[in-house]
Amino acid sequence: MRNTRKRTYRLLAVTTLAVPLLGAAAPVTSTGWASSGSVDVTIDNEHVVTGELAKCTVDGPYKGWTQGGTTGDIAAFGAGDTGCGRSGAVSIAQASGRRFKATVLQRYGGPMISVRTFTAKCATTATGSLGEVTIGAVEGVTVPAEIPPNYRIVIPGGTAGTALATVVLNETVTPQPPDGSLVTHAVHLKLFPQGGPASGDIYLGTAACDPFGKK
């Protein structure tokens, strides 16, 4: 299936933590980092890892850039960049990229998935973090006109009726119980989530923020 609409999808994710007033507390320093994407998959007993592409952190490096490239017949990234920094007590991290193609599913009879553009951004507040994602035209899977947080698409075709992969758009990951931090991904592709000939994850546009400075 194809979705060739040019519209950009934008949603806001928020996580907060109520902090009791217990008098003077030790000062904290917020943290954040961003990456334009990453691959960490195992296929036919071969482990393929790119690391975090164009990674930046609020403690430096403050900017990252990648010209992109192809990882075998698994995925191809276009150019991507990141920017991180602090404004007073606030940490801000953002990532963007373009012209991504995931070809790995084709070897199992699945679709090629492409994303024309994507961004992910987060910022800390006094008690939590805000996250924002935009996604441009997507092909290979059908997406709604407005993408809700953690929108999950199951791609069938695995053995015994299992999934070939799942795709999560506008993904926000927060710890339980909440501690004010969050990680947001524009796109998360997970291979054979119920088991199969391959495993692992591909991420597009990651931004992570923590108001209380945990690494």
pLDDT value at 65 more than 70: yes
- Residue 208: CB partners within 8 Å, gap ≥ 6? 32, 33, 34, 93, 122, 181, 182, 183, 184
Give domain status of residue 27, yes or no.
no
pLDDT value at 169 more than 70: yes
The mean pLDDT of the chain is: 89
Specify the number of domains making up the chain. 1
pTM for this prediction: 0.88
pLDDT band (50, 70, 90) for residue 27: low
Give domain status of residue 83, yes or no.
yes
pLDDT band (50, 70, 90) for residue 160: confident
What percent of the chain shows pLDDT beyond 90? 81
pLDDT at 25: 52
∠ CA 155-156-161, rounded to 5°: 150
Give domain status of residue 94, yes or no.
yes
- Residue 207: CB partners within 8 Å, gap ≥ 6? 32, 33, 34, 93, 94, 95, 120, 121, 122, 131, 183, 184
pLDDT at 214: 66
Peptide bond between residue 177 and the one before it cis (omega within 30 degrees of 0): yes
Give the separation between CA 85 and CA 96, rounded to whole angstroms.
16
What the block records as the tokens of 131 is 């996250």
Give domain status of residue 194, yes or no.
yes
Contact assessment for residue 36 and residue 82, using Cβ atoms and an 8 Å cutoff: yes
Q: Name the E strands within the chain.
A: 2-3, 9-16, 31-43, 46-49, 56-57, 63-66, 69-71, 75-77, 80-87, 90-102, 113-124, 128-135, 138-139, 151-156, 163-173, 182-191, 198-210
Average pLDDT over residues 70-86: 96
pLDDT value at 69 more than 70: yes
Average pLDDT over residues 148-161: 94
pLDDT at 93: 98
Contact assessment for residue 75 and residue 99, using Cβ atoms and an 8 Å cutoff: no
pLDDT band (50, 70, 90) for residue 63: very high
Closest alpha carbon to 165 in 150, 176, 152: 152
Give the separation between CA 29 and CA 107, rounded to whole angstroms.
46
Give the separation between CA 154 and CA 151, rounded to whole angstroms.
10
Give domain status of residue 193, yes or no.
yes
Query: Which residues form the domain of 94?
Result: 2-16+35-210
Give domain status of residue 22, yes or no.
no
Contact assessment for residue 123 and residue 113, using Cβ atoms and an 8 Å cutoff: no
pLDDT value at 14 more than 90: no
pLDDT at 137: 95
